[in-house]
Amino acid sequence: MMRLDKFLSELNLGTRSQLKKEIKAGAVTVNGSKALSPQQQIEEETDQVSYKGQACVYEKYVYYVLHKPAGVVSATEDAHDRTVMDLLGDGKRKDLFPVGRLDKDTEGLLLLTNDGQLAHNLLAPGKHVEKEYECCLASAFDEHQKALLEQGVDIGEKKLTAPAIVHRLEDKKITLTITEGRFHQVKRMLHAVGNEVTYLKRIRMGSLMLEDTLPRGNYRKLTKEEVERLQYDRSSHF
């Protein structure tokens, strides 16, 4: 059960105060009858609500992929910096959160959802879901560094990092695929093998790739098929 004005504002149809006025003015029906009270309780998954003649379909969970630019933090709130939530604009649902974190200077794929179960599936180390990064490096990448990353490296924690998948793209550019999400993990892994990351971009999380057509700072909703694939994602390599 949920209040009618909250239900409508979660669908991004306006602010709570605008919607209250519109409900009182008769713009909303519930199961065919005009609803005149914003406090009216509705059953969000079964009641038929319409707003200005349009049926309102409630989505319990929502999923967005954002192309995070550098300079914004992946938090829901921050006292100093712009957050990834700010990039979603004003009409967004209040229960969204980023699935994991990217550093302030890291760009690329960030999922935003209100589905805690999916977030757990993608982040839990035991699920081994792959996160793939494109890394520009300060010095030339060599076979020795590759072999170390593939075995697992000491980044100053109890356990070595899990084996990574590494592809050398250019002299100073690689892709690195990992299944964990330790703090600053990619930067620390490259540091541990004697190199440094100068630019970092996440290009994939499980089955979801960051497409070239999604410009930096933009976002889109995931399709139903994309969400279903993420729900069953596991690493195929490890």
What is the contact surface with ligand URA in residues (CB under 6 A)?
102-103, 106, 184-187, 200
Residue type, 17: S
- 90 given a catalytic annotation: no
CB 93 within 8 A of CB 6: no
CA distances from 94 to 33, 50, 85, 133, 203 (A): 29, 22, 9, 29, 26
For ligand URA, which is the closer residue by CB, 4 or 192? 192
For ligand URA, the closer CB: 9 or 106: 106
**Which CB, 135 or 227, lies closer to ligand URA?**
135
- How far apart are CB 166 and ligand URA at their closest, in Å? 14
Q: Which CB sits closer to ligand URA, 145 or 185?
A: 185
Question: Closest separation between CB of residue 83 and ligand URA, Å?
Answer: 15
Q: Do the beta carbons of residue 65 and residue 220 sit within 8 Å?
A: yes
Please identify which of the residues 78, 95, 103, 212 carries the catalytic annotation. Answer: 103
Comparing C-alpha atoms, which of 131, 136, 176 is closest to residue 152?
176
In the block, which residue shows the tokens 């700072």? 217
Residue 223 CB, nearest distance to ligand URA (Å)? 25
Residue 17 tokens, joined: 């105060």
What is the smallest separation between the CB atom of 107 and ligand URA, expressed in angstroms? Answer: 9
Residues taking part in catalysis = 103
